[in-house]
Structure 1
Amino acid sequence: MKTDLDGHFLYISPSCEQILGYKPEELITQNKFSYVHYHDKKRAIKNLNDVISKGENGRATFRMKKKDGIYIWVETLFKPVRDPDSDDIIEVISVIRDITERKISEDEVRKREETYRNLVENSPDAVILASGNEIMFINDTGVHLLGACTKEAILQKSLMDIIHPDFHDIASKRINMGKDSQEFVEYKLIRLDGSEVDVEMKGITTIYQNHPVKHIIIRDITERKKTQELLLNSEKLSVAGQLAAGIAHEVRNPLTAIKGFLQLMQSELNTHTTYFDIIESEMNRIELILTELLVLSKPQDLKFEMKDIAVIIEHVKALIDTNAIMKNIVINTYYECENLMIRCDENQLKQVFINLLKNSIEAMPDGGKITIEVINHGKDKVKILFKDTGSGIPKELLKKIGQPFFTTKENGTGLGIMVSKQIIENHHGTMHIWSDPHGTIIEIILPVK
């Protein structure tokens, strides 16, 4: 078809009837834009004006109305025609073709992609679309899981950058395998701040931007693993308690008899008193272990009274100071507030504090410093910090501290920290441990009054 600069038809080819249903004579002198869909008219006029002003060929797509009233999508190629004498553009030749089916297909694909994107974006699981090792897309849940502020921070990285090195081999095999995962596999990912997170991942093939990619579903299983670990420790603790009760009673009975006969022998024999002292000392140590075992086996009768936490700590410090000084260790105390009264069983809290200080002393064979801080924690709690300058606890061992019968000491029972935690929990408090190569910090939080 040929139009003037305002869009009036000057010539229509017979084939136009196959596309629009109009005979050429029905369109001559009519304005082309009166047949263009009103939503597309401004854009179609602009396209024609651009061709005229620039003097260059152009291309556009818009909807035109057929004789039966139905609108179809057409693709139009524009070519300006110049006057041979003045070189001014006087007409525009347009070639149109029906692209309705193509547009419908494109719209369906776009709608499917939008639906897919909405599902992925709003998924409670983290989702990554990856082509090989290249990350093509990540949803907001994934950005949050990996500790990023923007998607771009993740898109700049590869899959192997965010997967822990220990899992590179299995990840490479699954990438190269090409098959979809039938079930979730556990991995460890590295967040942008360097911390690690336990996840399970599953990859299925999909199409993204007309290319096959892996749709990787990532689920954070950190809380689940913590729960499993707590359940496991709970089971261990239950078994430990049952075992402890049996051992304690079985050993305590003959121990009582031995102590009785030892006292009789001491009263009758005055020789080898050193041997008697050693035997008695060792039996007292056995009794101490039995007492710890019994704490595990059943709740103790706690005698709660109002006590000044600073006084309790100072009493414990006085007991430990001599041993600390002999090992070139200084114990400092800092109290943010005075006369801080808590409702507690004084003897049990002393047992906890003595245990923690002894552990700190043993962690510093070459001397060092222990700091005890007592500070307010909110309106109704107090925080007690035990800090030492020892070599710290290795990361792989730190998470095992407090498990039944786990110890790093040659003569340890593996019960001290666990019993201490239980005592603190019986006081409605919490106990946490942090450690690095520069030392260890133990935090105890207890309710006030």
Structure 2
Amino acid sequence: MSQDTNTGRRRMDQAAGLLVRTTEALLRASDETELLEQICRIGAEAGHCLCWIGYAGEGPERPVTIMARAGQSADYLDGLTVSWNDDPSGQGPTGIAIRNGQPYVVADTLTDPNFAPWRDKAERFGFRSGVALPVGEGDERIGALMYYATRPNMFDAQVVGMLMGVARNLSHGIAALRMRGRHQHVARELAESEQRYRSLVELAPDAIVVHGHGTILFANQAAIHAFGASSRSRLTGRLVLDLVHPESRDDALERLEAPPPGHILNHYRLLRLDGTPFEAEVLACSISFKGLPARLLVVRDISERTRVQETLMQTAKLATLGEMAAGLVHELSQPLNIIRLAAEGAMMLIERDKASQEFQTQQFALIAEQCERTAEIIDDIRIFSRRDTAPIQVFDAALAVRSAVEVLEGQFRPDGITVDLDLPTGPLPVSGRRIQLEQVMMNLLNNAHHALRDSKDAMPSDWTGKIAVRATRQDDSVQIVIDDNGPGIPDSMKPHLFEPFFTTKEAGRGTGLGLSVSHGLVVAMKGDLALGESPQGASFVITLPLDLHAAGPTPLPSLSPGRAPSAVSADAHILVVDDEATAAQTLARYLRELGYRVSIAGTGIEAWKLFSEDPADVVITDLRMPAGNGEQLVEKLRDYDPLLPIVIVTGHLGATERVAANLEDDRCAVLKKPVALGQLGELVTVFLRPPV
């Protein structure tokens, strides 16, 4: 057997013995510092002239701190500067191993270019080769473990593989010791907490409940009062989920099965023992109760606060709507003026027999186009016309931003203010209520508009007001920025901007609720509204978490308004229900022209009678009607035939979203008035088309 083979075998035996001894040390370790020192001593006793362990530090310099060392060349480390930064002191084996997470072998200190800054000192201390091994995995790198030898080429692949086992075991050992230390610390805190919590909770004004695995173990007097318990109806022994309203039960069950760490504050809808619901904030944390793990819940009834907040929100909406009124009247008068001019001009030429077929088609197309423009403006007024009770859904934040800009942009033009809108091409899905985000956007845009308009006289003659709105995706969040080039906000006012009733406007203009309510709405969506940095003017930044897992609403089939479709079947029977006779007759005339058989009813009761005598293939109904409204009719029709195609046509503000949320699916569509006949006709065609 050759000398090289014997040498290689000795090195392998040495590394294997080192691995065994360090593993034994890890199993016996109870202190991190002692463990590091013992690992280095074992390395020195195994024949290495130097073994040391360095921890990776934070900060711009990224220093490597020597934690332990051993060996005849240990003094080599005195005064040594090592980092894991991308600078000359971080280009050695230690820095490279920490940065890359891979071992770095110095085959010969005299020839390795990365070892040049330390070569002379290493030669004085008598070592020629070495290896640096990362300690920790991924982003959790703790530092590095280094071995040095007096001869070159002492760390081949097999030896490095053995030593990597030492480094990995050391990583797990350090993690285990730290975890054990945290556990012991928490255990001490929980023990102390258990000793004193009773004296605190019994006097607390908030309801406090302790449960173990979902069963109530303890309730203070405030909890007994809050949930309406008594000596006959006790809280202890009941299931926590019995006190949770069905609307919040899924979320509560998820947290019950997998309690998150730390103190978690959530909003829930709860139930008293008599079944009365109430809104509550629930602060939850883990404790030890009678020696067993449990969860402590602090419950605060916020029903009154919720009602006050809703009132404030509605007040802010109405205040904003009042400020927008003049602009909205102007926006609506424009398309209405075009409609009237086109209609009266066409009638005059028709009476004089001067209107060609092409001219009439153009005028009617213009009227239809302006009706669509009017409908869009009316649709946007929904944001401020009603209380928002829509359920929390996933929606596209970019569409909400665009909608808010479009409804206000026309009001900026008379004041010479331009809006620069920059939105991404893809969707920005967030969870919440779209109307509330639009309300926030419109409030911020209105504030920018007022600031620019009021400061115009103090600006240079060539100055023009500008508002920039951009939405971008930032990792797992959405960032919406609204900038203007106005006078900005004085530093003295910035700390108070989001306080209720604080306003920078003169008396009689503004309630001081806009920014406060806006901040509350964004926070309720688990986001943040803050004042941004801007060299000129004011800047506000909305940050919202992306929701990439929940599915958004299923869109209706793609329709083309204005194109008259052909009837699928001439035998198809359509029932039109509308208390406005002119609208019903016009719609019926259009459908008959397409070849359908059409019946007309003016009330829900009349419609149900006609349907009972002659069932229709498709029902088109209004919502608000005397003698049986549309919602009652739809419920009866669904009970009769769950697959019956239904088209709901409504102009009632607020009802559109409510009905859409409850009824809209692939067999029921909700359209807002004014409706394009071509769009409605194509939707009927889609509903009557046989399934593929």
Q: TM-score range by the shorter chain?
A: 0.3 to 0.5
Give the alignment's TM-score, normalised by structure 2. Answer: 0.25
Which has a greater percent of strand? 1
Higher relative contact order (CA 8 A, sep 6+): 1
Give the alignment's TM-score, normalised by structure 1. Answer: 0.36
